[in-house]
A and B are shown apart, each in its own frame.
Chain A
């Protein structure tokens, strides 16, 4: 990832050129609902079409392209809408596509390796999948509506004010690390799980795990580095208004 350490992108760059250099950006496109073909369009053109601020786009792009990128420009309150939409799309990708897909591979592996340790791994993953689903549902049903309601209140200050009990600090506590068990699973498969003619299935599974892990890492960074500070500022701004 370090090879993309240049974070000074120009809005006139063709998006396709960047995708060519880092295949993980395919998921960035999908989460932003940018569809193919890209028709050699520049980043600026695409952002305008999709109503995404270029600054926000560059920040997320840099998170995908540079391992240790830390955003340094504050985002605007309006960015919250595309951020939430991006996160929701990624949730959909995880829970409807990636996790079921991985579960499928694990089941295939369990069929080839019918020893009891493998069934433990299957159970491990199913439990983990449930935890993740619960976490994603919590974000979809509680956190995101709350965040969008804050944005509504700021955008339309005269609408009826409902007092919300919830705060982003609560979310921060609830925000547990869903990548940990994924890493554990990878380690079990790489280092410990005995092999019984499953090299090909295992390799396919690895690619899926790496793909998911990559996207999840960035997903968490978007939540921790962009969403939570932005919502914190929105809460503060509303509080100041009320006083």
Chain B
């Protein structure tokens, strides 16, 4: 699931040449990012409230004497990924606070790859943490349930035991918060798991 169409990236870098250069190179790879170049940690708050931010590329010198405010920002926006932009020496301890690092000698392919990897990581992480995502088998059961089949009929159709069907149903209800068959049918339509044409309502 690589949908970076509206990904917003903040760049915290004192050198405008480097910051603009980075933007230029990334834009050459893909037009799917929006950038805000800023020059102080304090401005992160302002930018992120205006625009949902997925990634911050930061020159670690901004963190060096501001660890406390950096940690606060990191906690406040725990969904944001951090990439260090390195062209000077920094303590490993400081770099460990970041999700990844790039150096100015890296090729654009490497940089682009790292950005994408972090943005996708966030997506997959969301996916596994999201409680309402049904497994493929649960979706199979839900589809048959929604068109009006009984537990027994579903078991026969999927060649599984009736107990397995019941346990799938329990999990489906737990994940969706919906217990009745008619409620689950609407859920299935809304989630585009089935179309209204297949309904016998």
Chain A residues at the B interface, C-beta cutoff of 8 Å: 116-117, 120-121, 123-124, 127-128, 180-181, 183-185, 187-188, 191-194
**Contacting residues, chain A, for B180 (C-beta < 8 A):** 180-181, 184
Q: What is the chain A residue whose CB lies nearest that of B132?
A: A191
Which of B186, B196, B201 is within 8 Å of A188, CB to CB? B186
**Contacting residues, chain B, for A192 (C-beta < 8 A):** 186-187, 190-191
CB–CB A183/B179 < 8 A: yes
**Contacting residues, chain B, for A193 (C-beta < 8 A):** 190
Q: How large is the interface on B (under 10, 10 to 19, 20 to 34, 35 or more residues)?
A: 10 to 19
CB–CB A180/B190 < 8 A: no
CB–CB A188/B185 < 8 A: no
Closest 10 CB pairs of A and B: A184-B183, A187-B177, A184-B178, A192-B190, A120-B186, A181-B180, A184-B180, A180-B179, A124-B182, A187-B178
CB–CB A120/B196 < 8 A: yes
* 6 intermolecular pairs with C-beta atoms under 8 Å apart: A117-B190, A128-B182, A183-B177, A188-B187, A191-B132, A191-B177
CA distance A184 to B180 in the complex (A): 7
Q: What is the chain A residue whose CB lies nearest that of B187?
A: A192
CA distance A195 to B94 in the complex (A): 44
The answer to whether residues A187 and B190 also contact, given A116-B196, A120-B201, A123-B201 and a CB cut-off of 8 A, is no
B119 to chain A, nearest CB (A): 26
Q: What is the chain B residue whose CB lies nearest that of A125?
A: B182
Which of A117, A180, A194 is within 8 Å of B186, CB to CB? A117
**Contacting residues, chain A, for B176 (C-beta < 8 A):** 187, 191
Q: What is the chain A residue whose CB lies nearest that of B179?
A: A180
B15 to chain A, nearest CB (A): 44
Q: Is the interface of A mostly helix, strand, loop or mixed?
A: helix
Q: What sequence of 0s and 1s flags, for each residue 161-201 of chain B, a beta carbon within 8 Å of any chain A beta carbon? A: 00000000000000011111011011101110000100101
Q: What is the chain B residue whose CB lies nearest that of A128?
A: B182
**Contacting residues, chain A, for B191 (C-beta < 8 A):** 192
CB–CB A194/B183 < 8 A: no
**Contacting residues, chain A, for B199 (C-beta < 8 A):** 120
CA distance A120 to B185 in the complex (A): 9
Which residues of chain B in 88-118 are interfacial with respect to chain A, using CB atoms and an 8 Å cutoff?
Answer: none
CA distance A184 to B185 in the complex (A): 11
A42 to chain B, nearest CB (A): 43
CA distance A68 to B124 in the complex (A): 40
**Contacting residues, chain B, for A188 (C-beta < 8 A):** 178, 183, 186-187, 190
Which residues of chain B in 125-152 are interfacial with respect to chain A, using CB atoms and an 8 Å cutoff?
Answer: 132
CB–CB B189/A120 < 8 A: yes
CB–CB B182/A181 < 8 A: yes
**Contacting residues, chain B, for A116 (C-beta < 8 A):** 196
CB–CB B186/A127 < 8 A: no
**Contacting residues, chain A, for B132 (C-beta < 8 A):** 191
CA distance A120 to B196 in the complex (A): 9
**Contacting residues, chain A, for B185 (C-beta < 8 A):** 120
Which residues of chain B in 14-54 are interfacial with respect to chain A, using CB atoms and an 8 Å cutoff?
Answer: none
**Contacting residues, chain A, for B189 (C-beta < 8 A):** 117, 120
**Contacting residues, chain B, for A187 (C-beta < 8 A):** 176-178, 183
CA distance A127 to B180 in the complex (A): 12
CB–CB B201/A194 < 8 A: no
CA distance A193 to B176 in the complex (A): 13
A177 to chain B, nearest CB (A): 9
**Contacting residues, chain A, for B182 (C-beta < 8 A):** 124, 127-128, 181, 184
